Structure 1
C-alpha cells in the first residue's frame, strides 16, 4: 500500500510540474483578419471603402484562453468601378487592438473633395462611435464628433 502511495505521489508530482511548466499548456497564437467594408460611390464614379486589418494575439493558459494583445489598422482606399486604380487614401488608425470591429459607414461630399466616416472606439466605452473627416487626397484628417452612418449636406 505504501509503494502505491509513493508511486501516486511521484506520478502526480511529475504531472503537476509539467502542467505548470507549460507543457502543452502555455501556447500562444495569432488570428489575422482583413475586412473590406462600407463601400460608397464618389461623384466621379469611383468607389471609396474602408479596410479593417487586425491581428489578435491569444495565449492558452491553465485557466483558459485569454487575449494577450494585438494590433489594428483601419485604412481608406478608393478604386475605379472597373476594379483598376486601387489607391490608398489614408491610414486612419494604427494602434494596439482596442477599436471595435464595426465600421459605421463612409460617404463623400457632392463635390467629391471630402470623405466622412465613423468607427467604433472601444477605448472610450463599448460601441462608442467616432466620426472622422478628411480630404480625398488623404490630408486634413480630423475627428468631428460621435455618431454612425455619416453623410454630407447636398450643398457640400
Structure 2
C-alpha cells in the first residue's frame, strides 16, 4: 500500500516542487515561438520514430496557443518552486485533472499518440497531489466543519486553511 503524505508534511511539499520542476522542464520550450519550433520538430520526430504519429505542421494559431500555455505553466512552475505551499498542490492537482481530460479528448479525436506519456504523468502527479486532500477531508471532521468554500476563501484572502 502506498502511503500518501499529508499536505502539511515536508514530503508533500517536495512532491509539489517535483511536479513544478517537471512542468518547467517540459513546458519551457513551449514559451517562445523559436523554442516551440524546436520542441514541435523533436516531438514529431520521436512520434514518427516510435510509430505513434507525427504532429501537424505548426501554424500561427497553434504557435500562439502553445506559447500562451507554455508561458503560463512556466510562471506557475516558478511560483511552486520559489514559494511552495500545500495549497499549490491542491490547485495543481485540479489543473492536472483538467489537462488530462483535454488530452484524453484530443487522443479520442485522433491526435498523435506521442501524447500518451504526457497524459500518464499528468494523471500520476494529479492523483498524488489530490489524494492526500481527499483523504484528509474524509478523515478529519474539522475540515468538514470548515467546508471547502471557507478554506478556499480564506486562502484567497491570504489566510491559511483552517
TM over 0.5: no
Structure with the bigger percentage of strand: 1
Q: Taking CA–CA contacts closer than 8 Å with sequence separation of 6 or more, which of the two structures ends up with the larger relative contact order?
A: 2
TM range (shorter): under 0.3
Which structure: larger Rg?
Answer: 1
